[in-house]
Homo-oligomer: A and B are copies of this chain.
Amino acid sequence: MASLETTVGKLRGLGYKATPQRLAVLEALSAEQHQSMEELRGRCPGVGLVTMYRTLDLLCETGLVRRLDLGAGPRYELAEDHHHHMICESCGGVSEFEECPVDTRSLTNMGFEVNAHSLEVYGRCAGCVEGGRR
């Protein structure tokens, strides 16, 4: 849970200006994880669409934000901690889990230099299983 100030500091440190638009996007991102462009736009009235795209691109390139594919268009989230997503195929809900169930040592042993990984788990959430929802 790095504060917004810390994140802005990193941006500045990389030579980027801390514009009101960028602050607004970061603010929007901190409201909720894995939001769509449309949701973020709703939280950033006053920020032009092009700037939204450019800002999110910049934040992704600098590693401050992750672009996700959970099955229905791009989603974005602050890249604060390492976690993964469970997507419920009944209700569409997305939840996160922190415990990383991936072991990439065998890839390293094969000569691949692992920088990052992304894992998505699909199924039915506890609520849908109990409620008998298909």
Distance in Å: Cβ of A56 to nearest Cβ of chain B? 15
**Chain B residues whose C-beta falls within 8 Å of the C-beta of A119 in the assembled complex:** 102, 117-119
Copy count, this protein chain = 2
Tell me the minimal C-beta distance from A82 to chain B in angstroms.
13
Give how many A residues have a beta carbon under 8 Å from the other chain's beta carbons.
Answer: 31
Residues of B within 8 A of A114 (CB): 121-123
Q: How far, in angstroms, from A109 to B114 measured CA to CA in the complex? A: 29
Q: A101-B103, A106-B99 are in contact. Are A116 and B111 (CB under 8 A)?
A: no
Say whether B125 contacts A121, CB under 8 Å: no
Q: What residues of chain B lie closer than 8 Å to A101, measured between beta carbons? A: 102-107
In the bound complex, what is the Cα–Cα distance between A89 and B63 (angstroms)?
14
| Chain B residues whose C-beta falls within 8 Å of the C-beta of A124 in the assembled complex | 112-113, 115
- Tell me, in angstroms, the Cα distance from A110 to B111 when the chains sit together: 35
The yes or no answer to A39 lying at the interface (CB within 8 A) is no
Closest to A130 in B: B111
CA distance A54 to B124 in the complex (A): 26
Q: Judge whether A27 is part of the interface by a CB distance below 8 angstroms.
A: no
Quick check: is A57 within 8 A (CB to CB) of the other chain? no
Known A118-B120, A121-B107; contact A112-B86, beta-carbon cutoff 8 A: yes
